[in-house]
Amino acid sequence: MNSRTLYLRLLGEIKPYWPIALITIVCMAVAALVDGALLSLLKPLVDENLSKDALVRSAMWILPAQILALAVLRLASNFGNEYTSTWLSARVMHDLREKMFARYMRLPTRYYDQSSTGVLLSRVTYDVNQIMEAGVQTLTVLCRDSLSLAVYLTIMLLNDWRLTMLCVILLPGVALSISIVGKRQRRISRETQAAMGEMTRILDESLAGQRVVKLFGGTSYEEGRFSSRNRGVKNLTTKQAATSALNSGLIMLLIGVTLAVIVYFASLRAQSGGLTAGAFIVFMTAMMALQQPIKNITKINQVMHRGLAAAESVFAVLDEEIEDDGGGKPLGRSEGRIEFDHVDFHYGEASQLALSGITLNVARGETVALVGSSGSGKTTLANLLPRFYEPSGGSIRLDGVPLPDYKLADLRRQFAVVSQDVVLFNDTVAANIAYGDAEPDPARVRQAAEAAFATDFIETMPEGFDTMLGENGVRLSGGQRQRLAIARAVYKNAPILILDEATSALDTESERKVQAALENLMQDRTTLVIAHRLSTIENANRIVVMKQGRIVETGKHTELIAQGGAYSQMHAVQFAD
């Protein structure tokens, strides 16, 4: 996107609040006009009130009264500008963050496979701030400073147009300076945002994995990684400041040269009677006052390009394609019949297939175990069912209907997943168990906890089911976290279960309890069990052995043992003792 498109799109975010934006602009315009009016009063003050032939005492109060009235108007306009611009900025940032979060929640899983959490966080926090800082400052300069510039130039023209024309020689130099540094500022801004995202990613990884860092002696390594990125951000920030300072310095040099010339000729004009003392003071004060709006205008180029660079990354997120939800067929409660028909799959641009020619029918209420070495495609196959990924070839049907034909939300309601990577939220125990239910039933929450044998440790917590778990259940053991995940699956009561190493983090006694709970839960439900521990799936209706993305064996436990194939070898290795 070019700069014009980006800025117009940013203005589109402000458009719903145009009355507030209009009030802000009016307040800034009033403030600029008041400043000009106050400056203009210097002429009558010097030429009349302070002269030997001063006005009568009664008339001398007129000018102070005018100054006081203008000061009150300046106070009101300044407050209105500050308040409304801050409100507008905060509101648009609020809207952009909500839109980005909503988009993040609807982006396909492959997007997260290619992006780091730190970069995604940086876009919502740092980049949105950069956009609005640039937006508000740009609006201020375009309205207040541009109008101030026009007001001061008008005052100068009214007092002496010849001297004013000399000031115009400044403008080409300003335009040239802005043009030269503009592209460099935009490039540095992009690099700064990328470096900030990378630094946030390292920070997120290091803090989340602080135990591993400490245990494996990675403290120095992580400090080095963070220091390197932090140094990069510092260097880029310094480059930005140096570029801006050089630009502003050149402008101030041009102003200084022009000022020296103007002072010389203004002195000549005053001596020849072409300027009164009051007019001379007003002209010189207006010309000096020109410096600040000109300085602000030269700096806005840097601010604007920094904001536009941030806008590129923010709007790139908002323009990402969300998950395809083209299916319009509603689905109440599935029967649980699953059919994989010559399914192929590969990740991203990878040429090697993660799944190849998978054909598998799972009957209603059947328990099918998927076994095989790591990387054989078990979890990938399960991830295709809720459409976290789309097959590269073939089709998958649920109850005889292709998955894409269903509404995505309806489809995902049919699945409950318990994986070895348990995700818990910084909320109460009850809220984690009933996650996704807008109006959780406390009785069902307790029943689900009992079914997962979780009440024994929940009731020992300070506030029982109302206890806050902390970030990702940091206060719980691995087995306790796993049992809460199982309780969540019990509460959902979905017709299809996916158990991905669901008992991997449990001790022997806990595993026995949870295994019993899972067996009860699996009754009359279609269940896919992904397991490395073969003792947990011996009673499955069918065992599917996978190798390098293909199905190599299928059958019951006893049948596969008798065949002496891949499953039999895996079983022999695990039970060699």
Cα gap 403→421, rounded to integer Å:
25
**pLDDT over 90 (residue 238):** no
Average predicted confidence (pLDDT) for the chain = 81
Residues 6+ apart with CB under 8 A from 454: 480, 483, 484, 486, 487
DSSP letter (8 states) at residue 322? P
Task: Tell me which residue of 1, 412, 401, 429 sits closest to 186, measured CA to CA.
Answer: 1
Q: What is the pLDDT of residue 251?
A: 67
Interval 44-57 mean pLDDT? 59
Sheet holding 393-398, edge to edge: 355-362, 338-345, 393-398, 401-402
Q: What is the pLDDT of residue 255?
A: 66
Cα gap 191→203, rounded to integer Å:
18
Q: What is the pLDDT of residue 177?
A: 61
- Let me know if the fold of 3-318 is the same as that of 338-574: no
Interval 254-267 mean pLDDT? 71
Long-range contacts of residues 357-363, Cβ cutoff 8 Å, at least 24 apart: 357/394, 357/550, 358/394, 358/549, 358/550, 358/551, 359/551, 360/544, 360/551, 360/554, 361/337, 362/336, 362/337, 362/338, 362/526, 362/528, 363/337, 363/526
Paired with 340 in beta bridges are 360, 396
> What sign has the CA pseudo-torsion 231, 233, 234, 236?
positive
Q: What is the pLDDT of residue 50?
A: 57
Could you tell me the residue ranges of all domains in the chain? 3-318, 338-574
Q: What is the pLDDT of residue 200?
A: 78
Q: What is the pLDDT of residue 178?
A: 59
Residue 14 Cα distances to 18, 92, 125, 310, 454, angstroms: 7, 7, 19, 16, 50
Q: What is the pLDDT of residue 174?
A: 59
Helix axes 146-159, 291-318, angle to 10 degrees: 160
For the domain 338-574, what is the CATH superfamily, name and number? P-loop containing nucleotide triphosphate hydrolases (3.40.50.300)
Q: How confident is the model at residue 329 (pLDDT cuts 50, 70, 90)?
A: confident
Cα gap 320→436, rounded to integer Å:
25
Q: DSSP secondary structure string, 443-508?
A: HHHHHHHHHTT-HHHHTTSTTGGG-B--GGGTTS-HHHHHHHHHHHHHHHT-SEEEEESTTTT--H
Q: What is the pLDDT of residues 110-136, one digit of tens each?
A: 888 887 777 788 888 888 888 877 777
Q: What is the pLDDT of residue 120?
A: 83
For the domain 3-318, what is the CATH superfamily, name and number? ABC transporter type 1, transmembrane domain (1.20.1560.10)
φ, ψ for residue 363, nearest 5 deg = -80, 165
Q: What is the pLDDT of residue 359?
A: 93
Q: Are 312 and 146 in contact (CB under 8 A)?
A: no
Interval 142-158 mean pLDDT? 81
Q: DSSP secondary structure string, 398-456?
A: ETTEEGGGB-HHHHHTTEEEEESS----SSBHHHHHTTT-SS--HHHHHHHHHHTT-HH
3-state helix vs strand vs coil in the chain, percent to 5: 65, 10, 25
> What sign has the CA pseudo-torsion 12, 15, 17, 21?
positive
Q: What is the pLDDT of residues 438-493, one digit of tens each?
A: 888 999 999 989 888 888 888 888 888 998 887 777 778 777 888 888 888 888 88
Enclosing H/E stretch for 360: strand 355-362
Cα gap 489→511, rounded to integer Å:
16
Residues 6+ apart with CB under 8 A from 511: 503
- Extract the tokens encoding 251: 């402008």
